[in-house]
Amino acid sequence: MGGVREIPVIRDGYYRAQASFGVAITAGSFGATMLPLFIYTTISSDGRLWGAIGIIACLAITITSYSSGPILGLIAGITAWMCWFLRTRMSAIRWAIVGFFIILQLMMNPPIWFIFSKISAITGGDGWHRSNLIDQFVNHFKNWWLMGMSLEKTGNWAATRLESGSVDVTNEYVSLGIRGGLISVFLFIRLIVKCYRSLGASMQVARGDLINGKQNELLLWGIGCTLFTHVVNITAVRYWDQMFVIWYMTLALVSSMTAYFLQVKFKEYMKGVKISNIYSMDNDIMSKERKTPLIVD
């Protein structure tokens, strides 16, 4: 039914549950990326029972997919929620993460992306394939950076090939580079950065609400955790089938919720500006607004 296998794939003696998804890894991705939203539902005042049921379901979906990528994304989403109490110090957290990866690289002999291979030794999965894929992607930079390259030319990147003759591209960032060159990767990362800037500005607005501020902050933080789960998860999978819906739903949540809070901030700002001065704001006012942008361009 639905074009899926009648008997699931077996890996290391375990069935890889995939439900109605095309493959098990996208089913696991669904469970991992939905978990942060159900955590918010459990923490919020309404719907705690359904939130708890959702958390149990997400854990079951992710674990039974027996895929290291979604499990890594699941851990990333939970870790992001654990940083809730540090939400006003995210700049320090980001630098700490950068420092961690620098130290990790100094401790490792191979490049940092071979961490996937080491993780899969614990969680299972094709970690070495993912590490090797990134390694080949970097080594063949001159072939794809300008306008991408044909997938068929990636056939010598790994020992095994797909029926089409290309390597199995299990990384969304690598896939973007192959299909559209360096500019595609840059624009995709810029999209993610803009999403987080909008979420950060919206949380500042929500923090000023003495009545519903905490609840709104929790919602925005939950959306940010969901986006972070996607960011980590797509290092191990290229989205297709139903996961496109979940990915675009996340982007829609970010854009719709942040648009509301940034409009509130804009209206509050306009109350203090005379209509005649809207088009003649001095540089001092504009520079102050750039520090906390009203609308992210």
Domain housing 145: 10-291
pLDDT, tens digit (0-9, with 9 covering 90-100), for 211-264: 788 899 999 999 999 999 999 999 999 998 899 999 999 999 999 999 988 887
Residue 46 lies in a domain: yes
Q: What is the pLDDT of residue 3?
A: 64
In this structure, the chain runs to a length of: 297
Q: Hunting for tokens 């000023």 — which residue is that? A: 208
Estimate to the nearest angstrom the gap between the alpha carbon of 167 and the chain centroid. Answer: 24
- Tokens representing 87? 């939400």
CA separation for the pair 155, 169 (Å, rounded):
11
Q: What is the pLDDT of residue 213?
A: 82
Residue 283 lies in a domain: yes
Q: Classify the C-alpha dihedral 197-29-68-83 as positive or negative.
A: positive
Cβ–Cβ < 8 Å for 27, 21: yes
Nearest to 128 by CA among 157, 156, 166: 157
Residue 118 lies in a domain: yes
| Tens of each residue's pLDDT in the chain, 297 residues | 456 777 777 777 777 888 889 889 999 999 999 999 999 999 987 789 999 999 999 999 999 998 888 999 999 999 999 999 999 999 999 999 999 999 999 999 999 999 888 877 776 667 888 999 999 999 999 999 999 999 999 999 987 788 888 999 999 999 999 999 999 999 999 999 999 999 999 999 898 876 788 899 999 999 999 999 999 999 999 998 899 999 999 999 999 999 988 887 767 666 664 433 433 434 443 344 444 443 443
SS3 state at 107: helix
46 secondary structure, DSSP code: S
Residue 4 lies in a domain: no
Nearest to 253 by CA among 295, 217, 220: 220
Domain count, the chain: 1
Nearest to 205 by CA among 219, 221, 196, 216: 216
Residue 2 lies in a domain: no
Residue 297 lies in a domain: no
SS3 state at 274: coil
Side-chain-side CA neighbours of 203 within 13 Å: the count stands at 20
- Counting residues of the chain whose pLDDT is more than 70, the rounded percentage is 87
Residue 177 lies in a domain: yes
Q: What is the pLDDT of residue 198?
A: 95
Q: What is the pLDDT of residue 210?
A: 67
Residue 5 lies in a domain: no
Residue 287 has a CB neighbour count (10 Å cut-off) of: 9
Please, which residues bridge with residue 10 across strands? 15
Q: What is the pLDDT of residue 290?
A: 41
Q: Where are the alpha helices (DSSP H) in the chain?
A: 24-43, 48-64, 68-82, 90-107, 115-123, 127-139, 141-144, 172-180, 182-207, 213-233, 243-271, 283-291
Please give the angle made by the CA atoms of 85, 87 and 93, to the nearest 5 degrees.
105
CA separation for the pair 185, 182 (Å, rounded):
5
CA separation for the pair 65, 41 (Å, rounded):
24
